[in-house]
Amino acid sequence: MRARRQYLFIDFEFTMPERNVRMKDFFAEIIEVGIVAVVDDQVTEQFSSYVTPLKFPKLSERCKSFLHISQQQVDKGLSIYELIKKLAEFKKDNVETTIVTWGNMDMKVLRHNCLMAGADFPFHGAELDLSMEYKRFFGDQNQTGLWKAVQEYGKEGTGRHHRALDDAMTTYNIFKLVEKDKRYLEKPKPTTIGDRIDFSKLLNELA
């Protein structure tokens, strides 16, 4: 029986400091999460929530205006501990799981947030940075932004950029496009000379 396979497409939005303001010991904290869970090519769950920062709960004006997230929204969000518990629930027995993100910041920030909260990292699976996969596949010199990548495919992103669930769904859509292209470019078996030349036709022409 074929092993079941789960892909978790994850996007986080983070806090950011005011421009040109040094905040002592500041670090980026997750304030919104979007997850699209796909098992054997079927979307099995979509999850979205705001998250309350643990160490620096007051959002900067820059953060609010850039992400269009209000202080009230994050104040009513999950705690980092509730978020970690939710993420751990995606682990399934006998299902191989791959975490897919666009860029490496999401998992870096999650690891650091877990460390600062004194909590265990919730994932034990392969991690795929789709932006690097895209870069390798298309030979792009620079790392492309998520929505630029989807536009290069002649598509539009899902929903609104910098909304975590919309970005997670857009990541999933690019993943499907890249996988389809990879299959298309896989080299077919070399043809034999007999496949390439119709000998009977050739003999008739030579006769």
Q: 74, 31 in Cβ contact below 8 A?
A: yes
Is 13 among the residues known to form the active site? yes
Q: Within a 13 Å sphere around the CA of 126, how many CA atoms are in the beta-carbon half? A: 10
Q: Which residues contact 105 (CB under 8 A, 6 or more apart)?
A: 14, 28
Is 205 among the residues known to form the active site? no
Q: Tokens 């820059």 map to which residue? A: 62
Q: Which residues contact 183 (CB under 8 A, 6 or more apart)?
A: none
Catalytic residue among 112, 127, 152, 162: 162
Catalytic residue among 13, 96, 124, 152: 13
Cα dihedral across residues 184, 185, 186, 188: positive or negative:
positive
Strand order, beta sheet including 126-129: 42-50, 30-39, 4-14, 95-101, 126-129
Q: Which residues are catalytic?
A: 13, 162
